[in-house]
Amino acid sequence: MTAHDAVEVIIAKRDGGVLSDSQIDWVIDAYTRGEVADEQMSALAMAILLNGMTRPEISRWTAAMIASGERMDFSSLAVPTADKHSTGGVGDKITLPLAPLVAACGVAVPQLSGRGLGHTGGTLDKLESIPGWRAALSNEEMLAQLGSVGAVICAAGDGLAPADKKLYALRDVTGTVEAIPLIASSIMSKKIAEGTGSLVLDVKVGTGAFMKSLADAQELARTMVDLGTDAGVRTVALLTDMSTPLGLTAGNAIEVAESLEVLAGGGPADVVELTVELAREMLRGAGRDDVDPADVLASGKAMDAWRRMIAAQGGDPDAPLPVARESHVVAAPSSGVLTRLDAMAVGLAAWRLGAGRARKEDPVQAGAGVVWHARPGDAVTAGQPLLTLLTDEPARFDRALASLDGGYDIAPAGTAFAATPLLLDRIS
């Protein structure tokens, strides 16, 4: 590998230049080894935020991050593989019913998931509310479970794109989180290194999402689809609304309970719609669009796959889920039509109740969260329960209530209401 100088690479990008393959390979490798200092990589990340990167630059940057660690290989499996990644939202429990559903359709799902930070929930935190369930699996355990069960949801090992782990922590404290080339390469380096054959991206758009505008979400989605395509992974992105939270719950154990309703053939219509739509895309990418996931969901086979998946990771699928010790009901202040329920307000409330964390080392409460009893478009009556707040620590209610202030609108009865479609765009 050709040696370069960190200052030379920083200046090249600061001045709007295009980094060479050699410069990119060197700076990622040197940073991972500690030869490039944090303050130097901070300066480079800021230059990338301000000046952007070309498609070949982002592709090479992603490849260098993948090369910093190991690559997983599922070619020994008898069935194709497909994975899904969500950019994060509020009440987004879709991975929980989706992975067993796709497995029940004959496609293996190696789902590496993360933990919640701030107002966005984490899939692993939700599953850890199930007694006995464990997130940490070795590569061998993951492969064995994919062969026997067809689905695994677990934490990414330290060997997968270690450069990303280091750079992600740095971006968090240097105001460079929003750099689209760095967001895209962070997500895609791990997903490509994971070794899945096809990938569906659920890019959230709206107040409760990382990308607030459709244009920014489309740019991120296009960048990630290009990266997947360049790496030989069949990739498609769905842009979905996150101005209203998904389903009727935001938390950990309460989202597991809602996911079980979906697997049992019920559950909120939006959660069912998105689960089935993403399953169709995953099956199409894996060459199995001869199977209708809606039929499989109705048959109960996805619930069977869920029970096997949970048990394989030490969880008891029959154990009662944790329940918060304290609750507080927010009543509707007036009668009429609920026209808005803001995803960010609900997400902040759930976080402040203990369902999320401010720093990645913080603990979370399994039973904490928010339940809403109406969705936009529903009629409400003054005094009826609108939201229920759940926590083990009643001192948390005041701050949660403050985050919900102004977070919903009730219009007079008879007001016309037009719902935002859940699916906003598809990029392939």
Domain boundaries, the chain: 6-52, 82-312, 326-411
Which run of H or E residues covers position 399? helix 397-404
Do the beta carbons of residue 355 and residue 369 sit within 8 Å?
Answer: yes
Q: Does domain 82-312 have CATH number 3.40.1030.10?
A: yes
- Of 26, 34, 19, 359, nearest in space to 169 by CA: 359
Query: What pTM, to 2 d.p., does this model score?
Result: 0.94
How far is it, in rounded angstroms, from Cα 79 to Cα 67? 26
How far is it, in rounded angstroms, from Cα 124 to Cα 120? 12
> Tokens standing for 353?
């109740």
Q: What is the mean pLDDT of residues 31-36?
A: 95
How far is it, in rounded angstroms, from Cα 217 to Cα 313? 34
Count of Cβ atoms closer than 10 Å to residue 72 Cβ: 18
CATH of domain 326-411: 3.90.1170.30
Q: Give the pLDDT confidence score for residue 108 in this predicted structure.
A: 98
Query: Cα 40 vs. chain centroid, distance in angstroms?
Result: 30
Q: What is the mean pLDDT of residues 53-62?
A: 96
Grouping H, G, I as helix, E, B as strand and the rest as coil, residue 394 is helix
Q: Name the amino acid, one letter, at 352.
A: R
How far is it, in rounded angstroms, from Cα 93 to Cα 99? 11
Q: What is the mean pLDDT of residues 238-248?
A: 97
DSSP string, 203-245: EEESTTSSB-SHHHHHHHHHHHHHHHHHTT-EEEEEEEE-SS-
Helices (H) and strands (E) in the chain, counts: 16, 13
Q: Give the pLDDT confidence score for residue 278 in this predicted structure.
A: 98
Count of Cβ atoms closer than 10 Å to residue 139 Cβ: 14
- Of 150, 153, 154, nearest in space to 80 by CA: 150
Rounded to the nearest 5 degrees, what angle is found at the Cα of 83, between the Cα atoms of 355 and 226? 110
Q: What is the mean pLDDT of residues 128-139?
A: 96
Q: What is the mean pLDDT of residues 241-259?
A: 98
Size (the chain), residues:
428
How far is it, in rounded angstroms, from Cα 184 to Cα 352? 29
Q: Is 418 exposed, middle or buried (0-12, 13-18, 19+ CB in 10 A)?
A: exposed
Which run of H or E residues covers position 386? strand 385-391
* 158 pLDDT tier (thresholds 50, 70, 90): confident
Q: Report H helices in 95-196.
A: 95-104, 123-127, 139-148, 162-172, 180-193
Count of Cβ atoms closer than 10 Å to residue 1 Cβ: 8
Count of Cβ atoms closer than 10 Å to residue 157 Cβ: 16
Which run of H or E residues covers position 253? helix 253-263
Same CATH topology for 6-52 and 326-411: the answer is no
* 159 pLDDT tier (thresholds 50, 70, 90): confident
Tokens 């329960």, residue?
385
Q: Name the amino acid, one letter, at 400.
A: A
45-49, 167-171, 366-370: the lowest-pLDDT one? 167-171
Structural Rg of the chain based on CA atoms: 22
Torsion over CA: 347, 352, 356, 359 (sign): positive
Grouping H, G, I as helix, E, B as strand and the rest as coil, residue 82 is strand
Encode pLDDT of 284-303 as tens digits: 999 999 999 999 999 999 99
Q: Name the amino acid, one letter, at 61.
A: W
Encode pLDDT of 350-377 as tens digits: 999 999 887 777 889 999 999 999 999 9
> 301-312 and 253-263 are packed helices; what angle lies between their axes, rounded to 10 degrees?
140
Q: What is the mean pLDDT of residues 54-72?
A: 95
Q: Give the pLDDT confidence score for residue 286 in this predicted structure.
A: 97
CATH of domain 6-52: 1.20.970.10
- Computed over every residue of the chain, the mean pLDDT equals 95
Q: Give the pLDDT confidence score for residue 362 in this predicted structure.
A: 80
How far is it, in rounded angstroms, from Cα 341 to Cα 26? 48
Q: Give the pLDDT confidence score for residue 6 in this predicted structure.
A: 96
How far is it, in rounded angstroms, from Cα 110 to Cα 237? 18
Q: Give the pLDDT confidence score for residue 352 in this predicted structure.
A: 96
Whether residue 29 is predicted with pLDDT greater than 90 in this model: the reply is yes
Whether residue 117 is predicted with pLDDT greater than 80 in this model: the reply is no
2-6, 24-28, 92-96, 97-101: the lowest-pLDDT one? 2-6
Active site residues: 85, 164, 171, 186, 190
Whether residue 30 is predicted with pLDDT greater than 80 in this model: the reply is yes
Tokens 């000046």, residue?
51
- At residue 246, what are phi and psi to the nearest 5 degrees? -80, 140
Across-strand partners of 195? none
